[in-house]
């Protein structure tokens, strides 16, 4: 559906709703108005009948009967040219009737047909009903005079005009509102189409404020995530290709030299090929492990664990390495710090930090491991007296394939994946990892995990 079509349909829908609302309101108001106006007129006639009945009752009590009552001009009690009136005694006989706004005594008239009577009122004198008053209107259409009908017609015309104006204003407001909705939708559509064509920079530029603009802002966030994922894939491909190139080139060069007879096919050369092949296997396994952690497919069994337990296991596994490289390994593990953790994964993270510390600390240096409480967190710190991590590099230290010392060979410098794995493991535990300068002179890596309870 095009923007114009949507705008047109929305505007038409608003207009249809406005017209339907006005028509229904007009019908309800007209019916209600007619009914109320008729009741108003009826009450007016009944009030006149009641006034005449009250005056006649007073005259009846004063005179003592109908025969001696002297009737006067009844203008002061509400007689009007459009009203006719008769006074009947208790037996239904005609006592008086109205002529030219005057109630005449006598029975010269004819008792009116009851169907014409608009109002009746009993004449009660001394607590006794002595007669009744009949009032009706001298108009061909029942209760309504020409004046009443004119007022009714003018009122309904005013209602109709108001209805038309309301429908027009509602239609215009609906069309403007529809355009306000369609414009940001068009922006989202254009950005989505550009993104589909491969323009990764396409954005709506919306910042929210209403549901449609919230949709645009969400679209921009989605586009940013897609672009970031695309950059991640490209960087991962480049990193993996770079890491695989060195061992593959070494294997290829050695094999070609052996084929050409330049190098002998001896145990040393085969050992070199074997070492590079093992390194390739380690690299592939590490990349697969990191990928599983980053995508969330790696399974973690999080249960309450004393943080000191997995850390102690990692220390014991690394002790032989530390002794072989001449490092002093110090430990200070506070027991009883319970965290929700996968013990094997936590041991893996600490083991990676210990291997990293051994690799970048000169022979004879010190590596220290501590587990302490800090508020509602358990803090696992692996500090060393090595080369440290410069301040500008600390934001990149947990990126894959990053090394603190670019001059180191890829064999002695490791795979460059261990710290990235540590970051993923810490975050999967609901914690974090950071690095700062150690009081030993090198780097201090700190894992923070929330305590249980």
Q: What is the mean pLDDT of the chain?
A: 77
> Are 361 and 386 a contacting pair, CB within 8 Å?
yes
Greater pLDDT, 39 or 116: 39
Rounded average pLDDT over 350-359:
88
Which H or E element spans position 119?
strand 119-125
* CATH code for the domain of 397: 3.30.565.10
Pick the last residue of a domain from 275, 293, 311: 293
Is the same domain home to 276 and 384? Answer: no
pLDDT value for 413: 45
Burial 169-203 (b: 16+ CB within 10 A, else e): ebbeebbeebeebbebbbbbbebeeebeeeeeebb
Residue 304 lies in a domain: yes
The verdict on residue 276 lying in a domain is: yes
Q: Is the pLDDT of residue 409 over 50?
A: no
Domain count, the chain: 2
pLDDT band of 143, cuts 50, 70, 90: low
Q: Residue 196 in 3-state DSSP?
A: helix
For residues 352 and 423, the answer to whether their CB atoms sit within 8 Å is no
d(CA 389, CA 445): 10
Q: Do residues 362 and 424 share a domain?
A: yes
Based on the fold, state whether residues 329 and 247 are members of the same structural domain. Answer: no
Domain's final residue, options 293, 314, 343? 293
Question: Is residue 443 in a domain?
Answer: yes
Q: What is the pLDDT of residues 376-398, one digit of tens each?
A: 999 999 999 988 888 877 777 87
pLDDT tens digits, 224-246: 877 777 776 676 677 667 667 76
User: pLDDT, tens digit, for every residue of 295-352?
Assistant: 666 677 889 999 999 999 999 988 888 888 888 899 999 999 999 998 988 998 998 8
In this structure, what is the dihedral angle of CA atoms 157, 159, 162, 168, given to the nearest 10 degrees? -90
Position 308 in a domain: yes
Predicted confidence band of residue 4 (pLDDT cuts 50, 70, 90): low
Residue 147 scores a pLDDT above 90: no
Could you tell me if residue 81 is inside a domain? no
| Domain-terminating residue out of 278, 293, 308 | 293
Q: What pLDDT, on the 0 to 100 scale, is given for residue 384?
A: 92
Share of the chain above pLDDT 90, in %: 14
Give the domain range for residue 223.
Answer: 218-293
Range with the lowest mean pLDDT among 100-104, 214-218, 227-231? 100-104
**pTM (two decimals):** 0.47
């Amino acid at each position: 559906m095009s923007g114009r079509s949507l705008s047109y349909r929305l505007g038409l829908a608003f207009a249809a709703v406005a017209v339907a609302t006005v028509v229904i309101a007009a019908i309800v108001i007209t019916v209600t108005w007619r009914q109320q106006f008729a009741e108003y007129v009826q009450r007016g006639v009944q009030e006149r009948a009641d006034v005449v009945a009250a005056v006649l009752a007073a005259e009846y009590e004063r005179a003592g009967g109908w025969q001696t009552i002297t009737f006067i001009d009844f203008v002061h009690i509400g007689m009007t040219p459009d009203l006719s009136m008769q006074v009947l005694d208790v037996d239904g006989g005609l006592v008086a009737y109205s002529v030219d706004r005057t109630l005449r005594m006598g029975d010269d008239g004819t008792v009116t047909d009851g169907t014409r009577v608009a109002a009746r009122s009993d004449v009660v004198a001394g607590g006794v009903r002595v007669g009744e008053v009949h009032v009706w209107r001298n108009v061909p259409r029942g209760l309504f005079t020409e004046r009443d009908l004119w007022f009714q017609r003018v009122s309904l015309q005013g209602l109709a005009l108001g209805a038309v104006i309301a429908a027009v204003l509602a239609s215009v407001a609906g069309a403007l509102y529809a355009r306000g909705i369609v414009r940001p939708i068009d922006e989202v559509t254009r950005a989505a189409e550009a993104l589909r064509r491969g323009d990764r920079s396409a954005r709506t530029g919306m910042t929210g404020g209403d549901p449609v603009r919230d949709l645009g802002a969400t679209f921009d966030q989605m586009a940013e995530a897609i672009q970031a994922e695309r950059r991640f894939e490209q960087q991962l491909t480049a990193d993996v290709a770079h890491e695989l190139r060195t061992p593959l080139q070494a294997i290829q060069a050695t094999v070609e030299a052996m084929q050409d007879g330049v190098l002998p096919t001896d145990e040393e050369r085969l050992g070199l090929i074997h070492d590079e092949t093992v390194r390739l296997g380690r690299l592939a396994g590490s990349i697969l492990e990191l990928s599983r952690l980053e995508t969330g497919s790696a399974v973690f069994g999080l249960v309450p664990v004393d943080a000191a337990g997995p850390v102690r296991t990692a220390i014991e596994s690394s002790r032989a390495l530390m002794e072989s490289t001449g490092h002093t390994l110090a430990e200070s593990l506070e027991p009883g710090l319970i965290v929700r953790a996968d013990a094997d994964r936590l041991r893996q993270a600490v083991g990676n930090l210990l291997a990293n510390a051994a690799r970048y600390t000169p022979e004879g240096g010190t590596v220290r491991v501590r587990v302490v409480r800090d508020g509602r967190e358990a803090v696992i710190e692996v500090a060393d007296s090595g080369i440290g991590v410069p301040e500008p590099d600390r934001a990149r230290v947990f990126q894959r394939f990053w090394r603190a010392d670019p001059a180191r060979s890829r064999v002695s410098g490791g795979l460059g994946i261990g710290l990235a794995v540590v970051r993923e493991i810490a975050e999967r535990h609901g914690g974090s990892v950071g690095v700062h300068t150690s009081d030993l002179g090198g780097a201090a890596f700190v894992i923070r995990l929330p305590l249980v309870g």
